[in-house]
Structure 1
Amino acid sequence: MTKLDDKQRDDLKGGQFAFPEQRKEPLEDATHVRNAIARFHQVKGVTDAERDDAWKRIKAAAKKYDVEVSEKSWREIGKD
């Protein structure tokens, strides 16, 4: 995965995070998008509404970086 140093992370705009208020789960490349999906349920202190918004940002970033996402909702993550 692309590792962000503190300066690079600080330079990202809020919209480049799945959770912009918390600045959690950056979405600036395909690897980070996959990681955001994998770690989605580990994000603490967010509401379901914030998760809904984050999922929309993740889906948009996945489309941009050609990452396949089979889940329709974040509630489906990890369910087979």
Structure 2
Amino acid sequence: MTKLDEAKRDKLSEGRFAFPEQRKEPLEDASHVRNAIARFDQVEGVSDDERDAAWRRIKDAAKKHGVDVSEKSWRELGKK
């Protein structure tokens, strides 16, 4: 995964994060998108509405960066 140092992370606009208000889970490249999916259930202090919006942002970023996401909803994560 591309390392984002604190200065680079601070310069990212809110729209570049899965959870923009909390500035959690940047979506800068394919590895960050995969990491955001893997850590999605670890994000604390957010509502289901915020999770729904974050999932939409993750899906959009996944498409942009060529990451396959089979789950249609974040509620499907970890269930096979």
Q: TM-score range by the shorter chain?
A: over 0.9
Q: Answer yes or no: is 1:20 the counterpart of 2:14.
A: no
- TM-score, normalised on structure 1? 0.99
Residue 44 of structure 1: aligned partner = 44
In the TM superposition, residue 3 of structure 1 has moved relative to its aligned partner by 1.1
In the TM superposition, residue 64 of structure 1 has moved relative to its aligned partner by 0.2
- State the 4+ residue runs in structure 1 displaced beyond 6 angstroms: none
- TM-score, normalised on structure 2? 0.99
Unaligned runs of 5+ in 2: none
**Distance in 2 separating the partners of 1:50 and 1:43:** 11
In the TM superposition, residue 73 of structure 1 has moved relative to its aligned partner by 0.1
Residue 8 of structure 1: aligned partner = 8
Identity %: 75
